[in-house]
């Protein structure tokens, strides 16, 4: 009996990576709504939570998860994570937010080209927006030009159990985000239609233990920029 090549390929993938092949995450459609940081709009009931997996030993294994939706004008993303402390020194946009606590999202809209969007947000509601050209692991981010009006992100952070300030003791935090499609220019395969597939990844960095602990949706190893390992998302 001959075994189909597709099955052989899947078995090899399992053996090499130790990961099961990932079915595309279905991104449900929604109507546009205002972001508040709390993620309590009824539109979020159309989809489910997806867990992030802790990659590093040490520190606390804080619950970390996300939801995602899309409308005719953009993509909605909701992060949620348990936390004990706001560990960041960055209180301005477009600083090195990744050197403190952050949630991160990466959208690779055309997998034939090594260019993708990176977004970071911290508990102080500060953001970093980058287009990343990644050629053989050689990458450097470019910030958006004319980042205003219909190209600008909508973002709100909600902190539970403490104040939104550096070193505050808290219980958890959420980040509710809206990515307008015009922000993605000049990336390709936009706007997504029903059946469109992108690759994506969603992350968390937390420094409460004194060093950066990483969480990820897709199975990266050394760097958040291993875009070849991003998992697929499919628009409803």
Dist CA 158 CA 155 (whole Å): 10
pLDDT at 5 over 80: no
Q: Is 8 inside a domain boundary?
A: no
Q: Is 9 inside a domain boundary?
A: no
* The pLDDT of residue 225: 82
pLDDT at 10 over 80: no
Q: What is the SS3 string spanning the chain?
A: CCCCHHHHHHHHHHHHHCCCCCCCEEEEECCCCCCCCCCCCHHHHHCCCEECEECCCCCCCCCEEEEEEECCCEEEEEEEEECCECCCCCCCCCCCHHHCCEEEEEEECCCCCCEEEEEEECCCCCEEEEEEEEECCEECCECCCCCCHHHCCEEEEEEECCCCCCCCECCEEEEEEEEEHHHHCCCCCCCCCCCCEEEEEEEEEECCCCCCEEEECCCCCCCCCCHHHCEEEEEC
pLDDT at 67 over 70: yes
pTM exceeds 0.85, yes or no: yes
Q: Can you give the CATH number for the domain in which 184 is found?
A: 2.60.40.1190
Q: Is 47 inside a domain boundary?
A: yes
Q: Is 16 inside a domain boundary?
A: no
Dist CA 207 CA 86 (whole Å): 9
- Cβ contact 160:173 at 8 Å: yes
* Per-residue pLDDT reduced to its tens digit, 149-201: 999 999 999 999 999 999 999 999 999 999 999 999 999 999 999 999 999 99
- Cβ contact 115:131 at 8 Å: yes
Q: Is 1 inside a domain boundary?
A: no
pLDDT at 20 over 90: no
Lowest-pLDDT range, 21-35, 81-95, 165-179? 21-35
* Per-residue pLDDT reduced to its tens digit, 110-149: 999 999 999 999 999 999 999 999 877 777 889 999 999 9
Q: Is 39 inside a domain boundary?
A: yes
pLDDT at 231 over 70: yes
Structural domain that includes position 138: 25-235
181-196: b or e for each residue (b if 16 or more CB lie within 10 Å)?
A: bbbbeebebbbbeeeb
* Per-residue pLDDT reduced to its tens digit, 34-66: 999 999 999 999 999 999 999 999 899 999 999
Compute the C-alpha angle 88/90/94, nearest 5°. Answer: 135
Residue that has been written with the tokens 């009996």 in this structure:
1
- Cβ contact 65:81 at 8 Å: yes
Q: Is 212 inside a domain boundary?
A: yes
pLDDT at 8 over 50: no
Q: Is 224 inside a domain boundary?
A: yes
pLDDT at 6 over 50: no
* The pLDDT of residue 230: 94
Task: For residue 1, name the pLDDT band (cuts at 50, 70, 90).
Answer: very low
Q: How many domains does the chain have?
A: 1
């Amino acid at each position: 009996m001959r075994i189909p090549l597709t099955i052989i390929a899947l078995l090899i993938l399992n053996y090499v990576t130790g990961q099961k092949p990932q079915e595309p995450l279905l991104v449900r459609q929604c109507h546009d709504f205002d972001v508040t940081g709390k993620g309590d709009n009824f539109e979020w009931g159309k989809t489910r939570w997806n867990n992030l997996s802790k990659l590093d030993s040490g520190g606390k294994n804080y619950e970390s998860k996300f939801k995602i939706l899309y409308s005719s004008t953009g993509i909605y993303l909701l992060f949620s994570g348990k936390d004990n402390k706001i560990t960041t020194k960055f209180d301005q946009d477009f600083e090195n937010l990744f050197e403190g606590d952050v949630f991160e999202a990466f959208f690779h809209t055309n997998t034939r080209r090594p260019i993708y969007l990176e977004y970071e947000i911290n508990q102080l509601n500060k953001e970093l927006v980058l287009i990343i050209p990644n050629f053989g692991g050689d990458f450097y981010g470019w910030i958006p030009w004319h980042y205003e009006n219909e190209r600008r992100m909508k973002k709100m952070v909600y902190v539970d159990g403490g104040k939104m300030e550096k070193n505050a003791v808290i219980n958890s935090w959420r980040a509710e985000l809206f990515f307008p499609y015009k922000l993605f220019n000049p990336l390709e395969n936009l706007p997504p239609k029903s059946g469109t597939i992108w690759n994506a990844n969603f992350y968390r960095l937390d420094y409460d233990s004194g060093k950066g602990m990483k969480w990820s949706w897709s199975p990266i190893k050394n760097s958040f920029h291993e875009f070849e390992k991003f998992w697929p998302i499919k628009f409803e």
